Amino acid sequence: MNLERMPNEEKLSLCRRYYLGGFAFLPFLWLVNVLWFFKEAFLKPAYTEQPQIKSYIKKSAMGLILWVAVLTTWITIFQHFRARWGEVGDYLSFTIPLGTA
């Protein structure tokens, strides 16, 4: 998909769909949205749909940061306390490293 050749309404619609799609536990989609439309939203000369695209990008970015924070916290907790949790830790684990307590 080449954004250059899309009319502005389509760009807006695409950006909006990516933004809405990200609510289905898809922070990666928000990341793609931000990276893809960043130039469109902030580095291009203004056009009618741009403010809306900007707002979608900002909201996607906020959602992304939130998810990253949540995931980082969870991963840190898990990695640190996994051994201590005993059975629950094993139940939650997909792979259990060998050779450590």
Kindly list the residues in this chain that would bind another protein in the complex (CB under 8 A).
1-2, 4-6, 14, 21, 24-29, 32, 35-36, 71, 74-75, 78-79, 82, 92-99
Shortest Cβ 52–another protein spacing (Å): 18
Neighbours of 84 (CB within 10 A): 9
Are the C-beta atoms of 59 and 41 separated by less than 8 Å? no
Comparison of 65 and 96: residue with beta carbon closer to another protein: 96
Shortest Cβ 17–another protein spacing (Å): 9
**Rounded to an integer, what distance in angstroms lies between the CA atom of residue 84 and that of residue 101?**
9
